[in-house]
Amino acid sequence: MLSTLNIFFLNICIIFLVLSVTFYLMRNRLPIQRDSKFSTRFYFGLANGMTGILLIHNSISLNGAYIDLRLLPLALSALYGGPISIVTTGLLLIVYRIILDTGDSMIALQNSIITLVSFVVLVLLCTRFIKQKAALFTVIVTIGSLLVLVRMLSSEAENNAWQSIYVPYFLITIFASLLFYRLSGMLQEHFVLYSYQSYLASTDQLTRLANRHVIMDKVAVLEQDQAPWGVILFDLDYFKAVNDQYGHAVGDAVLRHFSVLLTQECPDDVTVGRYGGEEFIAILPNTFKVSPAQLAQQIVSTVTKTPFVMQDHALSITVSAGVAFARRQSASIVFKQADAALYEAKKNGRNQSHLYSN
């Protein structure tokens, strides 16, 4: 009895550990739902398939028979990932059963595969009609338990096998199912909240660009790697006049308008962010691939050609830019150089970019 309890709690730990690691690794993809990306549902199915394999390896000895809790990862796949996840989990378990079994147990292998395929098909039908998660999970566990009973009654087991084996199996499955239905929901909510808090800590709330903290972390990495990097500082021209004439709501909309243009014009490997107020920044990690001076002038031209459209008229905006290169000097010096270049651009009439030079 004690040995059975030990293996049972080991199974519980396996499911909890793999589920926790899966949600953590996929924290930026949460919540996992039936309409999530295909890759997300596929990866979730793979993770549950690996969980099922581990549960098979750690099956519970019960009155001379060996039972396992592979039903739980199958149920979790169907509950969160829908058809893609459960089919992936089911196929992985079928392949593993084929590899694990030998010719001496072909009948048992066939019965196992038939039971598993039947379960997956029935669950797929249920997911089309049952949308409420608690009800779906209950139906899935019930179907799985009934299929195990049918398989047991149709086998050559002793007459009282369903009492000595199935009843304890059913009670163990129900207890574990209730536990992990609740825990899986709590885990996913935890990592969703974690991802959201991380997003808030790294994002400017007005423009949705990287904030100053993220920018400085990026620069610290480039500085440590001694990579050839560049920086562009942007400052919206006469922005105070926009706030004074049209109000801060319009001013905020102008900032968002520029942030969209900045994101669109910069390559994916360029980190763009809000530096403060009406100042923005772009960090270029590879100045050989993209010329900071050319990119700065391109953005200045794009902003000039793309006015901010309000309800009654279009508001022309311009931006000035200062460019500096890192040539083994410290990041603080590079930022001072970019700021000096920005000052020159504004002094020379604004709506232009200026490259720092000694």
**Torsion 88-181-123-132 (CA) sign:** negative
- Between CA 295 and CA 260 the distance in angstroms is 15
∠ CA 76-144-39, nearest 5°, is: 30
Looking at residue 78, what DSSP letter applies?
Answer: I
Active site residues: 278
C-alpha closest to that of 85 among 95, 70, 99, 75:
75
C-alpha closest to that of 260 among 292, 308, 218:
308
- Between CA 153 and CA 65 the distance in angstroms is 14
What b-and-e string marks burial along 293-311, b requiring 16 or more CB atoms within 10 Å of the CB?
bebbbbbbeebeebebeee
CA 259 to each of CA 97, 238, 275, 278: distance values in angstroms, whole numbers, following the listed order: 54, 17, 12, 10
Contact of 92 with 52, CB cutoff 8 Å: yes
Three-state DSSP at 52 gives helix
C-alpha closest to that of 345 among 334, 358, 356:
356
Contact of 41 with 76, CB cutoff 8 Å: no
Phi/psi of residue 159, each to 5°? -60, -35
Q: If you count them, how many residues does the chain have?
A: 358
Beta strand 308-309 with 314-315 is antiparallel
